[in-house]
Amino acid sequence: MTFPRRIRRRTFLLGAAGLGASLAWFGPTPFRGTSLSPSERLASLLQHVDGALGVGREYLRQVPAEASPKVLTARVAERLPGGLATIEATPDGHLRELLLSAAEEDFRDLRTTQVHGWVLARTEARLCALAALGVDQAPAQTRR
Amino acid sequence: MFRDARSVPRDATLETDVCIIGAGAAGITLALELTGSPLQVTVLESGGLQFEPETQALYEGPSIGLPYPDLSVPRLRFFGGTTNHWGGICRPFEEADFEPREGIPFTGWPITKSDVDPFYGRAASVVRLPSRDWSLDYWAPGDEPAPLPLRSEHIVSRVAQEVEPELRSFGAGYQDELRLAPNVTVLLHSNATGVTTDESGGTAESVQVATLEGNRFSVVARVFVLATGAVENARVLLASNTQWPRGLGNQHDLVGRFFLEHPRFLGGVIVPAAPHPNLGFYESHRVDGRRMQGYLASSKEFQLAEGFLDLQMRLELGYGDAPEDASDFARHLMTLAGDLDSWQEIAIPGAPIPIPYLDVIRDALKSPEDAYIYLRGRIESIGVTTRMEQAPNPDSRVVLVRERDQLGMQRVALDWRLSDVDRRNVRRTLELLGAEIGAAGIGRLQILHSGDETSWPEDLDGGQHHMGTTRMSDDPKQGVVDSDCRVHGMSNLFVAGSSVFPTPGGATPTLLLVALALRLADHLKGMMLR
């Protein structure tokens, strides 16, 4: 079975945009401490922020009712055992595992959303949206 | 015995018991089954024993609907027919493939799987399949290659067997047997240009035959079987308009309508979470020396619940870029060596356990070529080619056009059309596949086509499976042939081949069309030898 060159190229171009987002929080990130707010904490777990931003912005365009850190954080917290307190009190590594479990549970229960064609767990799309809000709502001088 | 139509006296009338028009998979199967019987059998084959461009050109016909190759491309017009370039992929239809689907008009066969089951074993022998076992337990007995560990019952893995390439051509495989058959005459270079009936129009009396060299004669028979493929079967019936101006079997304007395919295109792309997912099951490979390939499909339960027909998904691996040549590889290695994260992504494809990275580095330095191959094996994307069971659509059809071929016979055009339910089927099934892929931790799926699109993807193609143009139904207002493959309103004209399929099913058509040809042979023997 061969993969046609024409398709492979298209695949790569399309895939490159979403790769960071779809697998955004697979991988190590440094421990950030507890000075971050819950929404900042969640967004900080994303490894490839650049890829996540595009996904997050599109998700917010599709679901404007969730365009607030508070709402998004609450929605993500609903999927975690212990809710909001878990986000505040759990070390990064364990929190990441909990989020991965939540995403897998989303997939199993068909709580998915499509962003630029990517079939994503609601939880991971919301994490991307939190990252997008964090950047877009930050004061201009602190934006990267 | 083999004869050549060019040596038949002009305007002669040949007599036989059974006249089979077409020597492809269906026609040859029928002839083989009638070998040794008291019946005299004449097989009319348009071509010779090899490909001949002038004969092949008789197929030419444009596409006036969805993009489709010229009609001279998909089928072959010489002894053995399209089996001469057949891919050899086989799988039997399942019970649900024969059943009507709620909400999808014109679905449901007048026969069930139990009517066909007695013939599948013989059909497997005729197509020379290596095994009659279709279970995952048989074809994936160990951990590798293994079906993807999907967790729900929406998406399943299936097995398709592959006939060995050298065994696929019925022309090569059965030529000697038919040559030695005392009651069978294969008449090469015989083009059927029409079937004439008695005055009542209910009994076929003869078939008119022409050669490219200008010879003309007729064959009179007790029974005629049209086995020329779904496009040509419709063409011959439509062109047989002496007694019936709209063509034989076409009282209800059904001949040529409901043209079906297995449309396919790249529906999505999976980005795998790991660089070397275990996907060998979905590539062509051997189990116990027998060739097979796996594919994903929507489960019958899902199809029935959602009101869809079948959808199959083939996985195509896209490998990552690597250095242009092995001589650059050492430099590339040094770069990678400084990046431990990258090294964690390097593993040996197919290795049962992770091989220590230091060993990889050591081996790579010893043999950059080998390590280069390891890196080439890194899978960056997995294309998901969707192949759907097209929903029956009366506007998808083969029609006669004004232009005539070299024999003076009207050519046909193909107006291939799909339906909204086909689009919804692909979209919904891919959504579920995306969820399954995510839940299993395999990666993420991107669906490449928006649900809002009204056009079909540019890479839309058919599987070169022509079906449906003389569909089977016990109701003459719903089908061209009855459940015995007899043309409604005709006492002795039958059709063999996938043109009788009212729905395309979730499997390739060849195995079933051969099984139906065997069933028809039994029916004819029962009818004619009473």
- pLDDT digit string (tens) for A86-129? 988 888 888 888 998 999 999 999 999 999 899 999 999 999 99
Residue A7 falls inside a structural domain: no
Q: Which of B26, B80, B486, B412 shows the shortest CA–CA distance to B231?
A: B412
Residue A17 falls inside a structural domain: no
Q: Which of A1, A11, A120 sits opposite B444 (nearest CB)?
A: A120
Chain A residue closest to B341 (CA)?
A27
pLDDT at A135: 79
At B43 the three-state DSSP class reads: strand
d(CA A65, CA A84): 20
Residue A125 falls inside a structural domain: yes
pLDDT at B268: 95
Residue A25 falls inside a structural domain: no
pLDDT band of residue A41 (cuts 50, 70, 90) is confident
What range defines the domain where residue A95 resides?
32-138
DSSP B115-139: HHHHHHHHHHHHHT-S-S---HHHH
Of residues A140 and B406, the one with the higher pLDDT is: B406
Distance from CA of A27 to the nearest CA of B (A): 9
Q: How far is CA B513 from CA B62, B129, B246, B432, B520, in A?
A: 26, 15, 27, 32, 10
Residue A94 falls inside a structural domain: yes
d(CA B227, CA B248): 15
Please count the residues of chain A.
Answer: 144
Residue A12 falls inside a structural domain: no
- H/E stretch holding A17: helix A5-22
d(CA B56, CA B45): 12
At B172 the three-state DSSP class reads: helix
**Would you give the distance in Å from CA B206 to the centre of its chain?**
31
Q: Which of B271, B432, B436 sits opposite A19 (nearest CB)?
A: B271
d(CA B134, CA B93): 11
d(CA B75, CA B8): 27
Q: Which of B152, B270, B271 to mutate to test the interface with A (most CBs of A within 10 A)?
A: B271
User: Each residue of B187-215: b (16+ CB within 10 Å) or e?
Assistant: bbbbbbbbbbbeeeeeebebbbbbbbeeb
To the nearest whole percent, how much of chain A has pLDDT over 90?
A: 39
Say which residues have a Cβ less than 8 Å from residue B301's Cβ, sequence separation at least 6. B153
Residue A21 falls inside a structural domain: no
Task: Give chain A's domain count.
Answer: 1
Identify residues of B whose CB sits under 8 angstroms from chain A CBs: 151-152, 266, 268-269, 271, 273, 283-284, 293, 314, 316-319, 341, 380-381, 383, 430-439, 441, 443-450, 459
Of residues B186 and A131, the one with the higher pLDDT is: B186
pLDDT band of residue A19 (cuts 50, 70, 90) is very low
d(CA B454, CA A21): 28
- Determine how many CB atoms are found less than 10 A away from the CB of residue B38: 10
d(CA B183, CA B189): 20
Inter-chain contacts counted by CB atoms under 8 A, chains A and B: 97
Maximal CA-CA distance, chain B: 89
Domains of chain B and CATH, by start:
2-56+74-98+111-128+163-253+466-528 (3.50.50.60)
Please list the ranges in chain B whose pLDDT falls under 50: 323, 326, 338-358, 373
DSSP B199-226: TTSSSEEEEEEE-TTS-EEEEEEEEEEE
**B487, B62, B215, B79: CA torsion to nearest 10:** -70
Q: Which of A15, A112, A114 sits opposite B269 (nearest CB)?
A: A15
Residue A118 falls inside a structural domain: yes
